[in-house]
Amino acid sequence: MASPRVTFVGSFVQDLTFLCAEFPRPGETVVGRFATGPGGKGSNQAVAAARAGGRVAFIGAVGNDAFGRGAREFHVAEGIDCRLAIKADLPTGTAGIIVNAHAQNEIIVALNANDSLAPEDINAHADVLRDSMVMVSQLEANLAAQAHAMRLAGQAKATVILNPAPMRPDFDPALLADVHILIPNETEFCTLTRLLPSSRDAVAADFDERQLASLNDAELHTLCRQFGVETVIVTLGARGCLVSRTEGHAFIATMLGIKAVDTTGAGDAFVGAFAAALAEYGSDAVEKAARFANAGAALSVTRAGTAPAMPRRAEIEALLESRS
Ligand code: RIB
C-alpha cells in the first residue's frame, strides 16, 4: 500500500546566496562568496518531507523562465509530484540571502509568480488535496490561494499544518480557524500573540522574543492556548521546541554537539520532516513526529544551502538512534 500523501501548497524561490564573515553595515561593502540553488519555504519543506520518506506533492507557481524550469527538474529528481502553475508574464520568485560566519542569515524574498498563485490553480489539483492525509501551507505565496487550499484540505479531512512564515502585515488571524497544527518560530509567535484579540490581556503590547525567552514552559503553553488551535509547536531556534496541545505540553531540546554552518531553511527542515513523520506515525503521534523533525532540523544546519541541505531519512534515524 502506498504511504499517505503529504501535500505542500506554497512557494518556490530561487535562492541567491552570499556568504561573508560579517553582515555588511548600512553603506558598507564586504567581499564574499556566491551560491545559487532551489529554495522557497514551501518547496524546501516539500523536499525535506520527500527526503524524510514522505509521498509528497507540491502545488505552487513559477514563471516561464530558467528558474521555473529548474524547479520542475529538481522536484522530479526528488520524487515529488510537482504541480506548478506557469505564470507566463511574471518571473519566478527569487530571494537574496546573506549568511555570515556565525551561521546567521538575513533574507529578502521577491514573491513574483508565487504571489499570483490563484484559487483556480488550487482547484486544478483538488484531487491531490482530497487524497492527502496531511496538508502544509506557509505565507510565502498568494494568501487567498493558500487559505483556499487549507479550507479544501480541511473539508477533505486532511490534517492542516500552517507554518506562518514569513509573517506578513496582510495576515488575517481568522485563517487560524482552518488550522489543526500551527508551527511558528519565536518571531512569528510574538507577532501572532500581539495580533490576537484573545492574547491582548495576557502579554504586554511590546511582547517580543526577549520576553518570550524569559517564560517557562508552562507560561509559554498558556499563551499557545490563546490561539484556539489544537496543536501549537513553537520552534525556539538553538533551544529546541515546545509542543503545546489541549491536553498538555512537552519541551523537546535541541540535539547537543551539532556544529551549525548555515541555519537558513532549518525551520523548513523541521516542518517538512514533521509532516512526513506525522503522515506515517498517525495524527496522534505529534510528539514523536516533533522529535524526528528536531533531528532533521539539526542535521540541516550542518550544511550550506536550503533545499539541498535537507537530510535523508536514514541520516535522521541514525542521529536519533545515536542519541537514544
Ligand atoms: O526558509 C528559507 C527560505 O526562505 C529560503 O530558501 C528563501 O527562499 C526564503 O524563502
d(CA 25, CA 30): 9
Strands 240-245 and 13-19: unpaired
Average pLDDT over residues 35-54: 98
pLDDT at position 238: 87
User: pLDDT-derived band of residue 160, with 50, 70 and 90 as boundaries?
Assistant: very high
User: Quick one: 167 exposed, middle or buried, by C-beta within 10 A (0-12, 13-18, 19+)?
Assistant: middle
Does 1 have pLDDT greater than 80? Answer: no
pLDDT for 3 equals 67
DSSP of 171-230: --GGGGGG-SEE--BHHHHHHHHHH-GGGTTTS-TT--HHHHHTS-HHHHHHHHGGG--S
Q: Select from 36, 43, 44, 268 the residue to mutate for testing ligand 1; criterion: most ligand atoms less than 8 Å from CB.
A: 44
The answer, yes or no, to whether residue 2 has pLDDT greater than 70, is no
Predicted confidence at residue 251, as pLDDT, reads: 97
- Rounded to 10°, the helix 41-51/266-281 angle is 50
Ligand 1 within 6 A of 107 CB? Answer: yes
The yes-or-no verdict on residue 138 having pLDDT over 70 is yes
Over residues 282-299, the mean pLDDT reads 95
- Per the annotation, the verdict on 268 as an active-site residue is yes
pLDDT at 139 over 80: yes
Whether ligand 1 lies within 6 angstroms of the CB of 95 is answered as: yes
Mean pLDDT of 142-170: 97
- Bridge partners, residue 37, by sequence: 15
Pick the CATH number of 41-93+115-322 from 3.40.1190.20, 2.60.320.10, 3.40.1190.10, 3.30.450.40: 3.40.1190.20
Pocket test for ligand 1, best of 45, 99, 107, 114 (most atoms within 8 A of CB): 107
Instruction: List 182's β-bridge partners, or say none.
Output: 162, 232
For 18-32, the pLDDT digits (tens) are: 999 999 999 999 999
Parse the chain into domains and list their residue ranges: 41-93+115-322
pLDDT reported for residue 202? 79
Task: Report the side by side order of strands in the sheet with 105-110.
Answer: 33-39, 13-19, 93-99, 105-110
Per the model's pLDDT, the better-predicted residue between 284 and 315 turns out to be: 315
Q: How high is the pLDDT of residue 323?
A: 85
Does residue 86 register a pLDDT over 70? Answer: yes
- 215-252: per-residue pLDDT in tens? 999 999 999 999 999 999 999 998 999 999 999 999 99
Share of residues in the chain with pLDDT > 90 (%): 90
Ligand 1 contacts CB of residue 40 (under 6 A): yes
- On whether the CB atoms of residues 134 and 278 are closer than 8 A, the answer is yes
pLDDT at 281: 95
pLDDT reading at 83 higher than 90: yes
Q: How close is the Cα of 109 to the center of ligand 1, in Å?
A: 7
Residue 184: per-residue pLDDT: 98
Tens-place pLDDT, residues 292-308: 999 999 999 999 999 99
> Percentage of the chain with pLDDT > 70?
99
- Pocket lining: 65 vs ligand 1, CB cutoff 6 Å: no
Average of per-residue pLDDT values in the chain: 95
pLDDT for 204 beyond 90: no
